[in-house]
Amino acid sequence: MRASLEVADIFRAAGPAYRAAHAGHLSLHQLKIMSAIEHCRTAALGGHVEACTDCGHWRIAYNSCRNRHCPRCQGAAARTWLEAREADLLPVGYFRVVFTLPAEVATIAFHNKALVYDLLFKAAADTMLTIAADPKHLGARIGITAVLHTWGSALTHHPHIHMIVPGGGISRDGTRWISARPAFLLPVRVLGTLFRRLFLTQSTFRAGFSASLRAVEPGSVSFLNLRIIDNETSGTNGKKLAPAADDMTVRQQRENHSCGVPD
C-alpha cells in the first residue's frame, strides 16, 4: 500500500526550490539521487503493461529507479533481505555486536569510503573470529552476519558495523557445538584491544593516512571508548529479525526474541 506522503512527493514539491536555493552546494551525486527519487515509478523512467490472463484487465506499471537511497525501492529489498536472513537463523540465542570508529577516523572515511569501510569490515570480522577461536574464550568457529551503517540516529556521518552472532560455534575439530555462557559472548576489553590494533596497523591504511592518524594511535582516548553492554535474558531461541535502534557505542547485547539488523 502506498503511504499517504512519500519522500518522492516532498522532492517533487520542494525539490526545484531547494536546488535553486542551494545551487553550487549540492554535489552531482546528490542531484542524481534527488532526480532518481523524484522520477521513480513515473512515466519519465518508462514502464510496461501488466495484464490478467483470466479477466483481461490490464494496467500500466512504471519502472522504479532502483537507487539505493530510494525508500520506496529499498523497502522491498530490505524485506527480502530480512526473510533470507531469518532462514539462516539457528535455534540458539543471538548477540548483537557493534564496532564503531572514532570521529577522527570517521572524518577520513567520509572522503575515502571504499578503503576505510573495507578496512572496518575486515578488522571487525577478524577480531571476532580470532577471539572466538581462542581456547581461553569460546574456542569455537563462529558465524557472523555483518552490516555497515554509515549514519547515526542524528543523521550525521557515523560509520559503524552491526553484527548478529550466534551464542556459540563449531568446535575446532568440527565435531560438536560449543555454547557461549548465558548473556555473555566475548570480553569487550579483549575485543577492543585487538580491533584497535588490527585497524590501525593495516598497511594500506597507514600508507595513505599515516599523517592523519597521529591523533589516533593505539592507546589514544578515542579508541578506548569502546563499550559492550551485556543484558541478561532468559530466552534462548531468537527466531525473528527486526530493525535495531542505532547506538553511538560498540556493544555486545544478548537478543532474546530479535537480532539487530539495518533499517
Residue 83 within any structural domain of the chain? no
Q: Indicate if 36 and 98 belong to the same structural domain.
A: no
Between CA 246 and CA 78 the distance in angstroms is 17
Residues in Cβ contact with 161 at an 8 Å cutoff, skipping those fewer than 6 apart: 98, 99, 100, 120, 121, 124, 146, 147, 148, 149
pLDDT at 209 over 90: no
- Domain extent, residue 211, equals 88-261
* Cα–Cα distances in angstroms (integers) from residue 2 to residues 44, 49, 81, 165, in the given order: 19, 20, 21, 35
* pTM of the complete model: 0.66
Q: Which domain CATH number covers 160?
A: 3.30.70
Q: Indicate if 52 and 115 belong to the same structural domain.
A: no
The mean pLDDT of the chain is 77
Q: Indicate if 191 and 107 belong to the same structural domain.
A: yes
183's enclosing H/E stretch is: none
Residue 49 within any structural domain of the chain? yes
Secondary structure letter of residue 248 according to DSSP: S
Q: Indicate if 56 and 92 belong to the same structural domain.
A: no
pLDDT at 99 over 60: yes
pLDDT at 181 over 90: no
Secondary structure letter of residue 43 according to DSSP: G
Position 66 scores a pLDDT of 87
Q: Indicate if 187 and 255 belong to the same structural domain.
A: yes
Residue 92 within any structural domain of the chain? yes
How many CB atoms lie under 10 A from the CB of residue 148?
15
| 96's grid cell | 548483537
pLDDT at 243 over 50: no
Helix (H, G, I), strand (E, B) or coil at 227: coil
Q: Indicate if 104 and 40 belong to the same structural domain.
A: no
Between CA 252 and CA 185 the distance in angstroms is 8
The arithmetic mean of pLDDT across residues 135-151, rounded, is 91
* 3 vs 224 pLDDT, higher one: 3
User: How many structural domains comprise the chain?
Assistant: 2
Q: Indicate if 34 and 124 belong to the same structural domain.
A: no
Amino acid at 15: G
Residue 80 within any structural domain of the chain? no
Residues in Cβ contact with 213 at an 8 Å cutoff, skipping those fewer than 6 apart: 104, 105, 108, 200, 205, 206
Q: Indicate if 228 and 191 belong to the same structural domain.
A: yes
Position 224 scores a pLDDT of 33
Between CA 96 and CA 166 the distance in angstroms is 9
CA 141 distance to own-chain centroid: 22
Position 212 scores a pLDDT of 54
Residue 74 within any structural domain of the chain? no
Q: Indicate if 51 and 139 belong to the same structural domain.
A: no
Q: Indicate if 14 and 134 belong to the same structural domain.
A: no
Q: What percent of the chain has pLDDT over 70?
A: 75
Between CA 11 and CA 30 the distance in angstroms is 12
| 144's grid cell | 557472523
Position 211 scores a pLDDT of 52
User: Of 44, 62, 80, which residue constitutes the final position of a domain?
Assistant: 62
Residue 155 within any structural domain of the chain? yes
**Of 52-66, 178-192, 243-257, which range is least confident?**
243-257
The arithmetic mean of pLDDT across residues 154-170, rounded, is 87
Position 215 scores a pLDDT of 46
| 169's grid cell | 560455534
Query: Is residue 125 a contact partner of residue 146, using CB atoms and an 8 Å limit?
Result: yes
Between CA 74 and CA 76 the distance in angstroms is 5
pLDDT at 261 over 90: no
Q: Where are the alpha helices (DSSP H) in 87-187?
A: 103-111, 113-133
pLDDT at 241 over 80: no
Between CA 196 and CA 202 the distance in angstroms is 10
Residue 232 within any structural domain of the chain? yes
